[in-house]
Amino acid sequence: MATDGLQKSRLQHFKNKGKDQEEMRRRRNEVTVELRKNKRDESLLKRRNVPQVDSTDDEEVDRGHPDLQAIVHNASSGDPNVQLSAVQSARRLLSSDRNPPIDDLINSGILPILVQALRRHDNPSLQFEAAWALTNIASGTSQQTQAVVNAEAVPLFLDLLRSPHQNVCEQAVWALGNIIGDGPQLRDYVIKLGVVEPLLSFIKPLMPLTFLRHVTW
Q: What total of structural domains would you count in the chain?
A: 1
Contact 111, 148 (CB under 8 A): yes
* Domain annotation covers residue 4: no
Return the sign of the alpha-carbon dihedral for residues 163, 164, 169, 171: negative
Spatial distance between the Cα atoms of 125 and 122, rounded to a whole number of angstroms: 9
- Write down the pLDDT at residue 80: 97
- Write down the pLDDT at residue 54: 41
- Write down the pLDDT at residue 1: 54
CATH number at residue 75: 1.25.10.10
- Write down the pLDDT at residue 157: 98
- Write down the pLDDT at residue 212: 47
* Domain annotation covers residue 172: yes
Mean pLDDT by 10 residues, the chain (217 residues): 59 58 61 46 52 48 67 96 97 87 96 98 98 96 97 98 93 94 94 89 58 48
Q: What is the DSSP letter of 165?
A: -
- Write down the pLDDT at residue 49: 58
| 199: Cα within 13 Å, side-chain hemisphere | 21
Query: Would you say the pTM of this structure is higher than 0.95?
Result: no
* Domain annotation covers residue 38: no
